[in-house]
Amino acid sequence: MSRIGVFVCWCGENIARTVDVDRVVEEVAKLPGVRCAVNYKYMCSDPGQTMIREKIASEKLDGVVVASCSPHMHLKTFRKAAQTAGLNPYLLEVANIREQCSWVHSDRDEATEKAIELIRMAVAKVKNNHALQPIKVPVTRRAMVVGGGVAGIQAALDIADAGYEVVMVEREPSIGGKMAGLSETFPTLDCSQCILTPRMVDVGQHPRIKLYTYSEVEAVDGFVGNFEVTIRQKARYVDITKCTGCGECSKACPLKKNKSEFDFGMGSRSAIYMPFPQAVPARPVIDKNVCAMLTRGKCGVCAKKCAAGAINYKDEDKLVKEKVGAVVLATGYKLYSIGKQDGKIAGYGEYGYGMYKDVIDSLQFERLLSASGPTNGEVKRPSDGKTPKNVVFISCVGSRDNAKGLTYCSKICCMYTAKHTMLYKHKVHDGQAHVFYMDIRSAGKNYDEFVRRAIEQDGAKYYRGRVSKITEQNGKLIVRGADTLAGTPVTVEADLVVLAAAMRPADGVTELAQKLNVGCDQFGFLMESHPKLRPVETNTAGVYICGAAQAPKDIPESVAQASAAASKVQITLSAAELTREPEIARINEKTCAACFRCFEACPYHAIEKAEVRNRKGELVKRTARVNAGLCMGCGTCVSICPSKNADIEGFTEQETYAMIESLI
């Protein structure tokens, strides 16, 4: 005979206002198997938990039902309390009489009846519960960071400084990300590279960081604590162990007019090139699509010039495997491309980007401002190299635009636009900056003062209104906008137009996310587990996200999130073994027919095809087997198994049917 204890919570007024908790206790006490039933104002409080523990001891309970708020809130709290009192925690169930009852109904009688029924179901379930033990999974105490921008760098350094080995995978030939290409950062106007490159060097020299640059994640196998990642090291055609970084190859290369990726097309580079002078690693790479030797078998000048003999035209992609226990995705962003893109996101034909040379985007303007940029930090028009005297900055290009397809606010543009006006003014003293904006979003520390400085001290003209069209006439860009505050259209004849394009997730992120079973939102940003309380975790255990890959954000936020992700990684790697909740699938291997429909259906690839052999090693039968580390307990295998051999511990068919039968 069961000895179940039922504890009904008032949750202050949240439950008690609608549900008659006294009557509930009266009724459920009559249920067969219920030893005691009490109610209390706040079950989750210390006295409430103490009550549960004391009753478990005094009434020798073998099962507990707490009727309270959602199990998401306090299931763990109550189970811990039960465990302390010596009861297996999985013999405790929560009946949700708040979110599923008192918060959604107003009729007191009906709500009370429903609460009683919910508890009746929970009691029926608990009677059928088995005691379960948590699952232990071994942990590879190494981490991987995908993405070498400021977020990835911060995460890698934090994890490595904490004593763990980190494998960093970066797609470009150098780490540094977008921040390495910025001129100065808001609100301090620190030189971007000056504050980043020390960190980059730290990463490059750290004894515990293994850096793969010009590499991408090819495949991921395994589960939390036990990932095996296949990395594709793309062919550089330069042996970076031999290369001294002298730069003679780039100087000698005859093909100098290729659009530089680092300068976002504003400058040129040779076919063999160092991404930028402060690159880590400071080694060149050959662009195999333009190199004469690699495409036509001619030239070879760089190899002749190389004193170290580091050029290798026969280089090939290599696949390397690394075992890690946790993965951090810090893949960063790219800018909205303004022209039409992938059919779903419309472009801005009205702004002439791509048609008019002097209409550029914000990252391109950063390169013009940067002292190490293609114009050595002088602001020059791309069309004729003249100094622009009137520069128009347009905010919200691509963002906050339902008609074009990206509805979100890109967060950083108001701030960097103000910064652009200030940097422009500092370089061109007689220049005039014009900004067309809808709102100013400057919510960080010293941010609003920064924007006001741009307007009040550096003379930027701000017009509140969007721009409808840009045309080119006699070398000038005619910008037709509006100022809704004065109620008038505003036309500016500009020498240069800078479009503050929206931040979007980097290319290839959706494919990478799929390899790791991480979700993306409708815009392609990586999905956090909970927007408020779990911003750096994902729904896949062991995979964490940080930085602009998760949502548009600035450098301080990216760095903060990176450290947050690093701390989560350290939790995962903190012990040699990981404990997982045992509420996962279980397959009866004796009677499994090995049809493997569960294998096909499992979204986490957590089912293995296993063989059962006898003592002689002969094959007895095949069976499906659950990988306890990967299984997330979704129940798909249970519903698909035609022979009813799959079940979920803690939510078995028997328990579920008991709940249903208790209602009939």
Partner 1 sequence: MNLGYYPGCALHGSSDDYQQSLKACFGALDVSLKELDDWICCGATAAHTLNHKLSIALPARNLALAAQQGCEELVAPCSMCSLQLKKAQKAISGDALLAAEMSRIVEAKPDGARVLNLIEALERVGLETIKTAVKAPLKDLKVACYYGCLLTRPPKVAEFDDCEQPESMERIVAALGATPVAWNYKTECCGAGMTMADEDTVLELSQKILADAAAHGAQSVVVACPMCHVNLDMKQSAIEARYGTKFGMTIYYLCDLVGLALGLAPKTLGINRHFAGRIA
Partner 2 sequence: MEFCVDNFMSATMQSDSISLLESLAQTKFADCYQCGKCTAGCPRSAHMDKTPNQIVRMVQLGEVDAALKTDAIWQCVSCETCTARCPKNVDCAAVIDALRQVSYERGMTSKQQAAVVLFQKAFLDSVRRNGRVNEVEMIAQYKLEGFAAMRRLGFLFEGAMLAPRLQMHHKLHLIGEKVRNRDLVRRIFARCMDGKE
- Segment 401-460, which members bind partner 2 (CB under 8 A)? 401-404, 438
Question: Residue with structure tokens 């991987």?
Answer: 144
User: Given the rule CB under 8 A, which of 315-323, 329-337, 349-357, 493-501 is the region that contacts partner 1?
Assistant: 349-357
CB contact set of 170 (below 8 Å; sequence gap of 6+)? 147, 148, 152, 211, 212, 213, 214, 215
Strand order of the β-sheet with 543-545 is 209-212, 165-169, 142-146, 326-329, 543-545
Q: Position of tokens 């940029």?
A: 373
480 CB-near residues (< 8 Å, 6+ apart): 467, 468, 469, 470, 489, 490, 491
Query: What is the smallest separation between the CB atom of 453 and partner 1, expressed in angstroms?
Result: 36
| Least Cβ distance, residue 520 to partner 2 (angstroms) | 24
Smallest gap from Cβ 349 to partner 1, in A, equals 3
Residue 654 as a binder of partner 2 (CB under 8 A): the answer is no
Strand ranges, E, within 438-550:
461-464, 467-473, 476-483, 488-494, 496-501, 503-505, 543-545
Count of CA atoms in the C-beta half-sphere (13 A) of 251: 7
**392 or 592: whose CB is closer to partner 1?**
392
Instruction: Report if residue 591 touches partner 1, rule: CB under 8 A.
Output: no
Helices 150-161 and 555-573: crossing angle in degrees, nearest 10, is 40
With CB cut-offs between 5 and 8 Å by kind, which of partner 1, partner 2, none does residue 511 bind?
Answer: none
Choose the contact partner of 484 out of partner 1, partner 2, none; CB within 5 to 8 A by kind: partner 2
User: Binders of partner 2: how many residues, by CB under 8 A?
Assistant: 23
Straight-line distance from the first to the last Cα atom of the chain, in angstroms, rounded to the nearest whole number: 22
- Interface stretch with partner 2, choices 107-115, 193-201, 225-233, 400-408 (CB under 8 A): 400-408
Residue 471: contacted member of partner 1, partner 2, none (CB under 5 to 8 Å, by partner type): partner 1
Among 50, 471, 514, 654, interactor with partner 1 by CB under 8 A: 471
Q: Which entry of partner 1, partner 2, none binds 577, CB below 5 to 8 A by partner kind?
A: none
Site residues (CB under 8 A) for partner 1, limited to 289-348: 348
Interface with partner 1, residue 350, by CB under 8 A? yes
**Does 216 contact partner 1 by CB under 8 A?**
no
466 binds partner 2 (CB under 8 A): yes
Do strands 34-40 and 359-361 pair parallel, antiparallel, or not at all (unpaired)? unpaired
Contacting partner 2 (CB under 8 A), which of 205, 295, 446, 468?
468
Residue 47 Cα distances to 41, 353, 455, 585, 607, angstroms: 10, 66, 58, 36, 44
State how far the alpha carbon of 343 is from the alpha carbons of 220, 346, 347, 405, in Å: 30, 7, 9, 10
472 binds partner 2 (CB under 8 A): no
- Residues 6+ away with beta carbon under 8 Å from 429: none
Q: Which of 254, 349, 459, 508 binds partner 1 (CB under 8 A)?
A: 349
Directed axis angle between helix 192-205 and helix 150-161, to 10°? 40
Residue 473 partner contact from partner 1, partner 2, none using kind-dependent CB cut-offs of 5 to 8 Å: partner 1
Residue 37 in contact with residue 120, Cβ under 8 Å? no
Q: Checking phi first, is residue 171 left (phi over 0); if not, alpha (psi -120 to 50) or beta? A: alpha
* H-type alpha helices, 210-327: 248-252, 292-296, 301-305
CB of 475 to partner 1, least distance (A): 12
Q: Segment contacting partner 2 (CB under 8 A): 53-61, 103-111, 269-277, 476-484? A: 476-484
Which range, of 467-475, 573-581, 627-635, 638-646, touches partner 2 by CB under 8 A? 467-475
Question: Residue 352, interface with partner 2 (CB under 8 A)?
Answer: no
The binder of partner 1 chosen from 57, 194, 355, 663 (CB under 8 A): 355
Least Å distance, CB 402 to partner 1, is: 13
Q: Which residues are registered as beta bridge partners of 137?
A: 578
Site membership for partner 2, residue 482 (CB under 8 A): yes
Binding site residues, partner 1, CB under 8 A:
348-350, 355, 471-473
Q: Which residues bind partner 2 (CB under 8 A)?
A: 350, 396, 400-404, 438, 464-469, 480-484, 487-490
